[in-house]
């Protein structure tokens, strides 16, 4: 059976540009509009229906509904509003981007940038460069066609934006009060790996811009919970790297970070001990084979029959937690895990081009810490001290 092709959608940036163009047509050309077209930067024509269109003598507003296609985007079906209004010739409005006689700002539900390192200046609404360019170009084209040379204010707002932002990375990135108006190609490709990697890269970039030299890297929620409950650390100084371990390490090195604390459940991290850079199961499993390879060098004192039995037990295990039980019963768990974390450390540092000094901690939910590299405790303590200092500054 052929795999169903996933349907693409349009970005919030494309939606905002469509709404802004329609509002400009309504105001400047005094025309009723039911739908509007724009050409996306990726070369796809977007034609979107309008909602809630209103016009007065000095302003016009309307909305388009975001269609993310088959991508599980939290903004899917949200209404993206835009208004265009005449403004006085004296005094520039606050918190605005400007392109000649056109000003652009955000409204409720569009987040405000509070931390440096993003594509938008601190203090302005999070309307990214490509959507800004699209909006300015579309409104400018309408103004030129209508012979309008007066100053115009374009405002973008998203009524549900503040609520939707809680399900995004915006609070971590320092974008407060709403979502971002995003897009590069103008098209939403369903849940691409490139989008996930871009998010990781942005988080690492912001950590570097904020002055961090060391960063915590963990694959997911298990690692974040372990950091909090066992190591007494939050992820404020860290990033969830999902399955993209090798890519994230390279990104950290590219950002000039020189220390990395790699923390995660052994079920995920054991793959790294075998040189697996992307830990998603679609790239292969090999967990039990790598577990055994880390253990076998410590089994010389076992009888041949006991060694063979242990090998069979580990390789037949359904989970790494089960394999851990067999290794503990054989008395080789501790040295096997020391070998595992040292191999993880070596691969991580090699992937960084030897630019990053890595320390590793791996665990299971039942056993707690299974293994940690020699310098991990010192790095953990350094993170704790910085976190406490940051908390004191907030107070």
CA distance 190 to 7: 7
Q: Which residue has the tokens 């790598």?
A: 290
The DSSP output letter for 125 is B
C-alpha distance from residue 372 to each of 1, 99, 253, 261, 286 (Å): 46, 54, 22, 10, 21
The SS3 of residue 121 is coil
Q: What is the pLDDT of residue 1?
A: 34
Q: What is the pLDDT of residues 120-161, one digit of tens each?
A: 999 999 999 999 999 999 999 999 999 998 999 999 999 999
Checking phi first, is residue 77 left (phi over 0); if not, alpha (psi -120 to 50) or beta?
left
Please list, residue by residue across 97-106, b when 16 or more beta carbons sit within 10 angstroms of its beta carbon and e when fewer do.
Answer: beeeebbbbb
- Sheet hosting strand 79-86, strand order edge to edge: 51-55, 59-65, 79-86, 152-157, 102-106, 97-99
**Selection from 347, 382, 351 nearest residue 213 by Cα:** 382
**Selection from 132, 130, 80 nearest residue 107 by Cα:** 80
CA distance 2 to 164: 34
Q: What is the pLDDT of residue 169?
A: 79
Q: What is the pLDDT of residue 342?
A: 98
Instruction: List residues bridging with 380 in a β-sheet.
Output: none
Q: What is the pLDDT of residues 79-106, one digit of tens each?
A: 999 999 999 887 889 899 999 999 999 9
C-alpha 172, offset from chain centre: 10
Q: Which residues contact 63 (CB under 8 A, 6 or more apart)?
A: 19, 50, 51, 52, 79, 80, 81, 82
Record the pTM.
Answer: 0.74
The SS3 of residue 274 is coil
The SS3 of residue 50 is coil
> How long, in residues, is the chain?
395
Q: What is the pLDDT of residue 21?
A: 98
Name residues of the chain where pLDDT drops below 50: 1-3
CA distance 381 to 387: 10
């Amino acid at each position: 059976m052929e795999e169903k092709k996933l349907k693409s959608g349009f970005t919030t940036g494309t939606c905002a540009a469509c709404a802004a163009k329609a509002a400009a047509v309504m105001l400047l050309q005094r025309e009723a509009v039911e739908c509007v077209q724009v050409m996306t930067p990726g070369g796809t024509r977007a034609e979107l229906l309008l909602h809630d269109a209103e016009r007065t003598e000095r302003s016009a507003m309307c909305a388009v509904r975001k269609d993310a296609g088959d991508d599980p985007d939290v903004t899917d079906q949200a209404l993206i509003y835009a208004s265009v209004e005449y403004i006085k010739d004296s005094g520039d409005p606050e918190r605005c981007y400007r392109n000649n006689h056109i000003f652009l700002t955000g409204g409720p539900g569009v987040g405000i940038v509070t931390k440096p390192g993003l594509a938008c200046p601190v203090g302005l609404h999070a309307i990214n460069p490509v959507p800004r360019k699209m909006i300015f170009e579309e409104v400018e084209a309408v103004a030129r066609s209508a012979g309008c040379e007066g100053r115009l204010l374009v405002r973008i707002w998203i009524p549900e934006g503040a609520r939707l932002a809680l399900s995004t990375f915006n609070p971590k990135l320092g974008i407060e009060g709403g979502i971002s108006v995003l897009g590069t190609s103008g098209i939403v490709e369903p849940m691409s790996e490139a989008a996930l990697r871009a998010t990781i890269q942005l988080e690492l970039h912001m950590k570097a811009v904020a002055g961090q030299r060391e960063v915590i890297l963990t694959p997911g929620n298990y690692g974040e919970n372990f950091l909090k409950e066992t190591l007494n650390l939050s992820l404020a100084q860290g990033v969830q790297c999902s399955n993209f371990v090798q890519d994230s390490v390279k990104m950290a090195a590219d950002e000039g970070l020189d220390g990395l604390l790699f923390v995660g459940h052994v079920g995920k991290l054991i793959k790294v001990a075998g040189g697996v850079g992307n830990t998603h199961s679609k790239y292969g499993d090999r967990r039990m084979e790598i577990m055994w390879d880390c253990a076998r060098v410590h089994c010389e004192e076992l009888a041949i029959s006991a060694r063979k039995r242990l090998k069979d037990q580990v390789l037949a295990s359904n989970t790494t937690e089960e394999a851990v039980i067999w290794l503990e019963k054989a008395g080789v768990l501790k040295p096997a895990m020391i070998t595992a974390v040292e191999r993880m450390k070596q691969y991580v540092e090699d992937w960084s081009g030897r630019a990053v000094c890595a320390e590793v901690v791996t665990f299971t939910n039942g056993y707690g810490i299974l293994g940690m590299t020699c310098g991990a405790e010192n790095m953990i303590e350094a993170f704790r001290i910085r976190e406490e200092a940051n908390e004191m500054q907030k107070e």
